[in-house]
Structure 1
Amino acid sequence: MTTFDHGGGVRSVQVPIPDNPLGHTLVYAVDTDRGPVLVDTGWDDPASWDALVAGLVALGTSVREVYGVVVTHYHPDHHGLSGRVREASGSWIALHAADAAIVRRARETRPERWFSYMAARLTAAGAPEEHVAPLRSARGRGAPGLSPALPDREIDPGELLDLPGRRLRAVWTPGHTPGHVCLHLEEEHPARLPGGGRLFSGDHLLPGISPHIGLYGDPDGTTATDPLGDYLDSLDRVGRLAPAEVLPAHQNTFTDAPSRVRQLLAHHEERLTGLLALLSRPLTPWQLAERMTWNRPWADIPHGSRNIAVSEAEAHLRRLVKLGRAEPVAGSEPVAYIAT
């Protein structure tokens, strides 16, 4: 358990994520006139809970004193412990409406429906039957994040949140999830670094990696969304804020957000250009994912990570199609795409 004082009434606790290369979620505690407000809570796991509880004690407070929880997005390494924090403290939980809708659907949908939906989506993307089969046999088992806590409040973009004595404004930054928010602390930096306050960036803006941008998961969805387009637009919005310091949910704090935004915009443009070269001949989303560059060879990527990779390939294809740089091949089944 590691804690850090960022100054100006903002501190953090490293809450471990079990069996995940990211290692931990940085949970921030923002002092207010009514008690600490947490930005995210970490994964719902006994060791993670113990680390959060002990970390808050080390910071001179306790989970019982928490006044509120602001969740940047619904993923289980951010929202997982929110319900336990509320039970222990009586705090409120706030989440953007788009992610709150996903939470409600997750609670109302049986696990079998989710596994059936995932299997159908992967089949449509061209995944081989030997990859899809484990999802069919997994029906009836639970999975992380399928019973997340319902929020008490919905975050309205642009609003000042209920942090008595502080100025924390919600900035809607869809892409990683449809309801992802960053949180702009509109106060002078405690070390008087130049720039516009501080930004809790969740997974939207990270110092060393690009967040996963895949299709928004929705078993009942019928709208063809453009998550990568959402993300790139959101990056521009955050870059214009020019905060003095960025406090992300993973890795480490950093400065010069506009420079990091430019790097990420360039990264995705380079990736789209590289995918167009691959699409010189028709490829299904699965075949495209097989040929994309990842942090390890495709043969070494485990089952669950391949699902994420295919979703990312599909998000990039959606963007290329929307830009008129690729198109589906008429009559192909499963649908293949080719550069225009």
Structure 2
Amino acid sequence: MKLAPHLHRLGNDIVASYLIEVPEGITLIDAGLPGHWNDLKAELAAIGRPMSDIRGLVLTHGDGDHIGFAERLRRETGVPVFIHAADAHRVRTGEKPKTAMGPARLGPTLGFFAYGIRKNALRTHHVSEVVEVADGDVLDLPGAPVIIGMPGHSPGSISVHVPVADAVFVGDALTTRHVLTGKVGAQPAPFTDEPDTALASLDRLAGVSASWVLPGHGAPWHGSPADIAAAVRAAG
């Protein structure tokens, strides 16, 4: 789905990833669930771009509902997969701390897991080869993505600022739809390793200039990063 010039979303408000399209090629942000491979192919067909135009995939962190088709893309096309060094082990192995689920409602929780099953979440493959990135890196990819370290949800959680798309991609640094309660609006994301650290990281987001803030779960936020950071703090 096209959101704005250069900017497309794969998936939906339950699980989303993103595609940045510029003349010199395509950069992907996150890889959703394995079944989103078909969504990727459909979006490429809709914009008339071949799979070979993808130059890189940047992961906001290493959790399973963000790495879905990453290994398939890397293996079948040779596209490099980028992730913060602090989450490299997680994306290769799936090892992570056990965090409390927190509040949940039966309907939204069942809907989240049912959607995962439909999109082949149980077939997620870890990524065997990655390119490690660090806070402040500007990647040599279409759109020149800028890495913003935002630890908290995981040690290597990042946001990705892409000025040409006027957007910042935040992964699970925050959410606009809680996958376990169904509550909509800016708020902290569930399954966060270090909630206090995640809230502190919002200071990094507030200084970014963009008109779109794009989470891995929930509706796109068309507004300033400073405003959504304030809203998450208020909700948290």
Scaled by the length of structure 2, the TM-score of the pair is 0.75
Q: Please tell me whether residue 163 in structure 1 is matched to residue 151 in structure 2.
A: no
Pairing of 1:181-220 with structure 2 (within 5 A): 181-187=158-164, 197-207=166-176, 208=185, 209-215=187-193
1:244/1:50 Cα in 2 relative to 1: closer, same or farther (>3 Å)?
closer
Give the secondary structure class of the aligned counterpart of 2:66: helix
Segments of 4+ in structure 1 off by > 6 A? none
| Alignment gaps of 5+ in structure 2 | 101-120, 177-184
Question: Which residue pairs with 2:77 in the alignment?
Answer: 89
Asked if structure 1 preserves the Cα contact closer than 8 Å seen for 2:71 and 2:126, the reply is yes
Question: Which residue pairs with 2:198 in the alignment?
Answer: 231
Query: Larger strand proportion, structure 1 or 2?
Result: 2
1:153/1:28 Cα in 2 relative to 1: closer, same or farther (>3 Å)?
same
Pairing of 1:1-340 with structure 2 (within 5 A): 3-7=1-5, 9-14=6-11, 23-25=14-16, 27-32=17-22, 34-45=24-35, 48-106=36-94, 144=122, 147-164=125-142, 166-187=143-164, 197-207=166-176, 208=185, 209-215=187-193, 227-253=194-220, 254-268=222-236
Asked if structure 2 preserves the Cα contact closer than 8 Å seen for 1:43 and 1:81, the reply is yes
Deviation string, structure 1 residues 133-180 (Cα, Å, up to 9, x no partner):
xxxxxxxxxx9487411343111110101215x332100111112111
1:151/1:70 Cα in 2 relative to 1: closer, same or farther (>3 Å)?
farther
Report the Cα distance in structure 2 between the residues aligned to 1:59 and 1:95, rounded to whole angstroms. 27
The CA deviation at 1:64 is: 3.6
Asked if structure 2 preserves the Cα contact closer than 8 Å seen for 1:56 and 1:62, the reply is yes
Scaled by the length of structure 1, the TM-score of the pair is 0.54
1:171/1:159 Cα in 2 relative to 1: closer, same or farther (>3 Å)?
same
CA RMSD in angstroms, aligned pairs only: 2.7
Aligned-pair identity in percent equals 27
The CA deviation at 1:231 is: 0.5
The CA deviation at 1:213 is: 4.5
Q: Which has the larger radius of gyration?
A: 1
| Alignment gaps of 5+ in structure 1 | 17-21, 123-142, 190-196, 216-226, 269-340
Asked if structure 2 preserves the Cα contact closer than 8 Å seen for 1:36 and 1:67, the reply is yes
The CA deviation at 1:100 is: 0.6
Deviation string, structure 1 residues 202-221 (Cα, Å, up to 9, x no partner):
22233324311533xxxxxx
Query: Larger helix proportion, structure 1 or 2?
Result: 1
Number of aligned residue pairs: 206
